[in-house]
Structure 1
Amino acid sequence: MNEVKRPVNSHKAYHAHVYFDEATVDFASELCREAGQRFGLQVGRVHEKLVGPHPMWSCQIIFGSKDFEQLISWLDEHRNGLTVLVHALSGNDLDDHTHYAYWLGDSQTLDVSQFTA
């Protein structure tokens, strides 16, 4: 695992990827659904497979800087031990998933090889 960098609101747009496994899929699905409803945000599919650079199953929440503080605080309080990757949407996928990658919970190693090919 890498050093854990806490989320910093320094960009206009973000993704939060809630990571889960077979035992926590129902809780994670509900967490993402509730976040979307509570904050009026777009929530992606609940992926019960590996997608993109993510080392675990995940669900994506799309949000902007205006929702950052409230959403991150709420996710941190309600994630019940799940790991959440928060990354900027700067237009550079490699930077977004490395330099601008922040964590709630334990950091994970992302497979960023698709961004360097």
Structure 2
Amino acid sequence: MSTTLKPAPVQALTTIFHYHAHVYFDAATREQALLLRERVAQRFAVDMGRLFEQAVGPHPCAQYEIGFEQALFGSLVPWLMLNRLGLPVLVHPNTDAELADHVDHTLWLGGPLALRTDSLAVSLQVLGQAAPRPVVINTAPLQDN
């Protein structure tokens, strides 16, 4: 008896509203995280989230979020690959599927961290949300990447 796996359905790129990059740090790497935060804000038009000095939501340690539009993916993510100052960075899309976005649809720069996924929704619509929180640009880039 053979087992045939049913392929997962193809998902359209139009299901992606925008992206997040989460930069993780601890007491020893806090200054690097702040420097990276400053460098990103100087170079990219992003939604720079607040600095969390402790674990919050699915994130297991101190972190901040960088929200960005799809058009920025091709420049911001490669820049982070080269300039993340050794910090772990989680990049994920924001779709209706919050849990899958953080677990299955991820890109890790540096080693992955174990996320606490019990707080993530399988579907935002089930919770009564039409979409993830929008990206609101709050940086004013001064220079090219």
Superposition TM-score tier, normalisation by shorter sequence? 0.7 to 0.9
Partner of 2:76: 71
Contact 2:98 2:121 in 1 (8 A): no
Shift of 1:92: 1.8
- Structure 2 counterpart of 1:95, which letter? A
1:2-13 equivalence runs, <5 A:
11-13=16-18
Pick from 8, 12, 25 the counterpart of residue 20 of structure 1: 25
Pick from 81, 88, 97 the counterpart of residue 92 of structure 1: 97
Larger Rg: 2
| TM-score, structure 1 normalization | 0.84
CA RMSD of aligned residues (A): 1.6
Q: Which runs of 5+ in 1 are unaligned?
A: 1-9
Shift of 1:33: 2.5
Pick from 96, 115, 118 the counterpart of residue 113 of structure 1: 118
Shift of 1:106: 0.3
Give per-residue Cα distances to partners, 1:7-30, cap 9 Å, x unaligned: xxx534100000010011121122
Shift of 1:55: 1.2
**Structure number with higher relative contact order (C-alpha < 8 Å, ≥ 6 residues apart):** 1
Q: Which runs of 5+ in 2 are unaligned?
A: 1-12, 123-145
Shift of 1:116: 5.6
Q: 1:33 to 1:42 in 2, by over 3 A?
A: farther
Query: Which one has a larger percent strand, Structure 1 or Structure 2?
Result: 1
- Structure 2 counterpart of 1:66, which letter? A
Q: What is the CA–CA distance in structure 1 between the aligned matches of 2:112 and 2:93, rounded to whole Å?
A: 16
Identity %: 40
Q: How many residues align?
A: 108
Pick from 55, 62, 67 the counterpart of residue 62 of structure 1: 67
| TM-score, structure 2 normalization | 0.69
Does the alignment pair 1:35 with 2:69?
no
